[in-house]
Chains A and B, each alone.
Chain A
């Protein structure tokens, strides 16, 4: 079974090639050896391809936070079920990139939009951001109105399916 991971916005695939004597993995087609070698307090140790690494880690939901090699990393575990859903829905969803509140609604359902048009303005921590259409199309619905609060990732507006774009 292939695991799908995302790092800095780039998708990666990982699967297990062998379990013993050492764990062997294939990442994006390349082979790697991995062994956990212990912990010192909160520090984790592992040996990767013969090289010892030390890191801090924490996990929140489907995201792993790492401190490794003097940098902080966030690796997202992509649930195959989510990926499947996304494919069905297409790219017409306009999602909130962060939690916040709707400041103003600039378009109405039925309005034609071009990529880059502002659909809503949202505010989060005193900062205003415009949510824009990712492609040309017709606005199917707006799910939030002025003053509404939403969570990160919430769908705030939706474009019509591309086939119906000329309606």
Chain B
């Protein structure tokens, strides 16, 4: 803020797709040159074209290329980049990469490597949170002395979730509603843990019914100054991945919001956090909340926070990484309005959200003052299984939550993205559901409303309109209807 010179002359972006485009966007505004890295299969991608320069990286798979720390650092050196922005995913939370970047004399636009190590370790980060007065879900571990385990577990309160410490995949896992079932269930869990995992250690924690996913955006300068940019709610998930996020959370008591934000700041101050980061919590219907994890990078859903605070998180990341600190103070950060993000994914909601592939044949995104369509797409872009199924993020703001929902519905209706199956209609049905508008959300929302969110039946009139418009695109139909086919050139994607 208020600097006349850019924070860096040139940075390399160790990522692709929409997030690479997002980082380039801010860099252009600030006068920072950008170097993209791309796999051969994406040499014509939008992010490659937008960057000032791009270098090809190689790997057994496209993803492997982006995980090749050595190659990426070498590319940064060769192209004269001073710093590396990791985006999200890939190497963004890899402390070895962060250390190697620093060892190469470059700046890692992220936290200190030790912070990544601490927050990347479930057990250590949980203990660290607890030590710093951030609530964690009460839990006990045991198994050898079943009576002692049962006694300690009962003191946590019910319902309880019992699982195998070494486990996964639901084996040995059960929800215990009351004390009368606890001993039997603990015995069963212990024998299943022994049988499936060769380790009888079991673990009990407070089971939160209808949990909400609330997370707090923080910014730290690495010198102990930490600010929060309020919370986001990301409870609408499918396959344990977020699909609709918003800021601020709806139906959240202001005092509780302050408490959650303060806990996030406390945790971040305790590590003298550097960079933008996100502290995730589980919020129970009774208002108790528990630390889940901290993501030490820019988050996919960061734009909703930008929309309601008016701040550019990437610019702030660059300032912090360049050692310029944080010129903002907490009172400078205010909330205005409400923002929603819908993740547009190549998938089939009707078939358990299975990923879909294809080619972007026609793209006409909605535009407007309060609309951001964050994407890395061009017409002709192939949607393959090489990368994640997220195609774009539609981010929409309004003066309040109902207005933001209405604006997001309209924006979804105006999103033209043809050539691959997407969840656009499905997202619109979620926004239109009364429970989304009126009730507190919870992570089981999609499952709870599965029937209501299914594709509605079409009236014969509606179906006929769609079928006739579709028929006009088929050569076989045109031949029959108009004697001669329309010239091939006017039929989209005919060459397939």
Are A and B interaction partners? yes
Residues of chain A touching chain B, judged by Cβ–Cβ distance below 8 Å, are 1, 3, 5, 7-10, 12, 14, 16, 19, 23, 25, 27-28, 30, 32, 34, 36, 42, 44, 46, 48-49, 51, 53, 55-61, 64-75, 77, 97-100, 124-127, 129, 152
Known contacts A34-B468, A60-B493, A124-B385: does B355 contact A23 (CB below 8 Å)?
no
> Nearest chain-B residue to A74 (Cβ)?
B421
Residues of chain B touching chain A, judged by Cβ–Cβ distance below 8 Å, are 239, 348, 350-359, 361-362, 364, 385, 387-389, 413-414, 416-419, 421-422, 424-425, 428, 455, 458, 460, 462-474, 476-477, 480-481, 491-494, 496
* Neighbour of A60 across the interface among B351, B359, B424, B481, CB < 8 A: B359
Do B465 and A3 touch across chains, with their CB atoms under 8 A apart?
Answer: no
* Neighbour of A56 across the interface among B357, B364, B428, B458, CB < 8 A: B364
Q: Note all chain B residues with C-beta closer than 8 A to A8.
A: 350, 455, 458
Q: Note all chain A residues with C-beta closer than 8 A to B388.
A: 125-126
- Bound complex: CA of A69 vs CA of B385, how far in Å? 30
Q: Note all chain A residues with C-beta closer than 8 A to B422.
A: 72
- Bound complex: CA of A48 vs CA of B461, how far in Å? 10
Q: Note all chain A residues with C-beta closer than 8 A to B465.
A: 48, 51, 53, 68-69
Do B354 and A46 touch across chains, with their CB atoms under 8 A apart?
Answer: no
Q: Note all chain B residues with C-beta closer than 8 A to A60.
A: 358-359, 361, 419, 493, 496
Q: How far is the CB of B493 from chain A (nearest CB, A)?
A: 5
Q: Note all chain B residues with C-beta closer than 8 A to A48.
A: 464-465, 468-469
Q: Note all chain B residues with C-beta closer than 8 A to A126.
A: 388
Q: How far is the CB of B129 from chain A (nearest CB, A)?
A: 28
Q: Note all chain B residues with C-beta closer than 8 A to A46.
A: 468-469, 472
Q: Can you identify 20 A-B contacts, CB atoms within 8 angstroms?
A: A3-B474, A7-B467, A8-B350, A12-B463, A16-B480, A23-B481, A27-B463, A42-B362, A48-B469, A56-B416, A56-B418, A64-B470, A70-B413, A71-B413, A72-B416, A72-B424, A75-B466, A77-B470, A125-B388, A152-B357
- Bound complex: CA of A64 vs CA of B476, how far in Å? 13
Do A44 and B496 touch across chains, with their CB atoms under 8 A apart?
Answer: no
Known contacts A5-B467, A14-B467, A127-B354: does B472 contact A100 (CB below 8 Å)?
no
Q: How far is the CB of B356 from chain A (nearest CB, A)?
A: 7
Q: Note all chain A residues with C-beta closer than 8 A to B350.
A: 8-9
> Nearest chain-A residue to B422 (Cβ)?
A72
Extra inter-chain contacts (18) besides given A7-B470, A98-B348, CB under 8 Å: A5-B467, A7-B466, A14-B477, A32-B464, A32-B468, A48-B464, A48-B465, A53-B465, A56-B416, A57-B472, A60-B496, A65-B361, A66-B466, A71-B425, A75-B467, A98-B385, A127-B355, A152-B357
- Bound complex: CA of A9 vs CA of B350, how far in Å? 10
* Neighbour of B481 across the interface among A5, A19, A61, CB < 8 A: A19
Q: Note all chain B residues with C-beta closer than 8 A to A23.
A: 481
Do B474 and A59 touch across chains, with their CB atoms under 8 A apart?
Answer: yes
Q: Note all chain B residues with C-beta closer than 8 A to A65.
A: 361-362, 418-419
Q: Note all chain B residues with C-beta closer than 8 A to A42.
A: 362, 364
Q: Note all chain B residues with C-beta closer than 8 A to A36.
A: 472
Do A58 and B492 touch across chains, with their CB atoms under 8 A apart?
Answer: yes
Do A98 and B359 touch across chains, with their CB atoms under 8 A apart?
Answer: no
* Neighbour of A72 across the interface among B425, B467, B469, CB < 8 A: B425
Do B414 and A58 touch across chains, with their CB atoms under 8 A apart?
Answer: no
> Nearest chain-A residue to B357 (Cβ)?
A99
Known contacts A59-B492, A59-B493, A99-B385: does B354 contact A66 (CB below 8 Å)?
no
Q: Note all chain A residues with C-beta closer than 8 A to B467.
A: 5, 7, 12, 14, 27, 75
Do B362 and A3 touch across chains, with their CB atoms under 8 A apart?
Answer: no
Q: Note all chain A residues with C-beta closer than 8 A to B471.
A: 3, 5, 14, 25
Do A64 and B463 touch across chains, with their CB atoms under 8 A apart?
Answer: no
* Neighbour of A5 across the interface among B385, B421, B470, CB < 8 A: B470
Q: Note all chain A residues with C-beta closer than 8 A to B458.
A: 7-8, 10
Q: Which of A67, A68, A152 has the most CB of B within 10 A?
A: A67
Q: How far is the CB of B495 from chain A (nearest CB, A)?
A: 10
Known contacts A48-B464, A65-B362: does B389 contact A3 (CB below 8 Å)?
no
- Bound complex: CA of A73 vs CA of B424, how far in Å? 10
Do B460 and A30 touch across chains, with their CB atoms under 8 A apart?
Answer: yes
Known contacts A16-B480, A34-B468: does B356 contact A98 (CB below 8 Å)?
yes
Q: How far is the CB of A156 from chain B (nearest CB, A)?
A: 15
Q: How far is the CB of A125 from chain B (nearest CB, A)?
A: 4
> Nearest chain-B residue to A25 (Cβ)?
B468
Q: Note all chain A residues with C-beta closer than 8 A to B387.
A: 125
* Neighbour of A66 across the interface among B356, B462, B464, B470, CB < 8 A: B470
Q: How far is the CB of A1 from chain B (nearest CB, A)?
A: 7
> Nearest chain-B residue to A29 (Cβ)?
B460
Do A129 and B354 touch across chains, with their CB atoms under 8 A apart?
Answer: yes
Known contacts A56-B364, A125-B355: does B481 contact A66 (CB below 8 Å)?
no
**Considering the complex of A and B, which 8 residue pairs feature the smallest CB-CB distances, nearest first?**
A70-B413, A75-B470, A58-B361, A65-B418, A58-B492, A64-B470, A58-B418, A125-B355
Q: How far is the CB of A65 from chain B (nearest CB, A)?
A: 4
- Bound complex: CA of A132 vs CA of B380, how far in Å? 34
Do A97 and B351 touch across chains, with their CB atoms under 8 A apart?
Answer: yes
- Bound complex: CA of A74 vs CA of B362, how far in Å? 13
Q: Note all chain B residues with C-beta closer than 8 A to A57.
A: 362, 418, 469-470, 472-473, 492
- Bound complex: CA of A30 vs CA of B459, how far in Å? 13
Do B354 and A124 touch across chains, with their CB atoms under 8 A apart?
Answer: yes
Q: How far is the CB of B44 from chain A (nearest CB, A)?
A: 19
Do B492 and A1 touch across chains, with their CB atoms under 8 A apart?
Answer: no
* Neighbour of B354 across the interface among A5, A12, A97, CB < 8 A: A97
Do A67 and B466 touch across chains, with their CB atoms under 8 A apart?
Answer: no
* Neighbour of A98 across the interface among B357, B417, B424, B425, CB < 8 A: B357
Do A98 and B491 touch across chains, with their CB atoms under 8 A apart?
Answer: no
Q: Note all chain A residues with C-beta closer than 8 A to B358.
A: 60
- Bound complex: CA of A9 vs CA of B463, how far in Å? 12
Q: How far is the CB of A152 from chain B (nearest CB, A)?
A: 7
Known contacts A30-B464, A53-B469, A127-B239: does B419 contact A58 (CB below 8 Å)?
yes
